[in-house]
Structures are given as C-alpha cells and as structure tokens.
Amino acid sequence: MDVSIRQNIVEMLKTFLRDQTARNDGGNKARLANDIIEYIKKNLDNHDLGAGRIARQFNISQRKLYKIFEESGLSLRDTILHYRLEAARKELASSTDKKIINIAFDSGFNDVSTFYRNFKRKYGYSPRSSQ
C-alpha cells in the first residue's frame, strides 16, 4: 500500500476516533449533569448542599462541577436555588398549618430573609401570600 494512502487512512481513523470520543464524553457529561440534578433534588433539605459536597459525592473536582453547569448555560448556585424555591412554593401551596420559617428551613434555607427575598424575586409575590 502506498505510504500516502496509509497516512490518509491513519489520519481519517484518528479523526473518527477523536469525534467518537467527543460524542461519548458529551453523553457522559449529560448523564453526569442529570445525576447531579437528581442528587440536588433529593438533598434540598441539606443546608450544606453546595459545590464541595456535590463534587465529593460524584468524585469530581469543583472546577469540573462548575464547568458542567457552565457548559449547559446554568450555574450551580442558581440551580440549587431554583429547586429549593420550587420545593418551598409547593409546600406553601399544600400546607396551611406549617409555618413559613419551617418551610424555608426544610427547603434548605439557612436564613428566612434570604428565603423571602429570593422567593419574591422569583415569583413576584411573598411567601405569606401564597399560603
């Protein structure tokens, strides 16, 4: 076989393998991102839920964790906040006797004023008016 043909075949094979690896890595990242989001949803009540805890859980660096979210157009902080606020909103709508402060703490908020401020910013009304 001619050397130039062999070189072309080798280059085509390298390109093919590089593309396959990139596709597989993208699939793995998407799967990992979904697993992380499921972990966040299941651990909303954990007040220490953050980059360090999540990175340790998935045995990745915090940098890689932030990069996964960055590549999907989200931020880790905003994702956690979103799911915490959604959990609190649902709880407020379904519970008439539970105190707002308890709902805030059960949803993972350490500070009631932070909860109120973020709830109002996201939904346009206060937590009190949704009960």
Domains of the chain: 3-75 (no CATH), 79-130 (1.10.10)
pTM reported for the whole predicted model:
0.75
pLDDT tens digit string along 103-114? 999 999 999 999
Contact predicate 13/52, CB 8 Å: no
Query: pLDDT-based confidence at 29, cuts 50/70/90?
Result: confident
Rg (CA), the chain: 22
SS3 content of the chain, % helix, strand, coil (to 5): 75, 0, 25
Integer angstrom CA distances of residue 35 from 10, 38, 54: 37, 5, 11
Q: Which two tokens stand for residue 122?
A: 């996201």
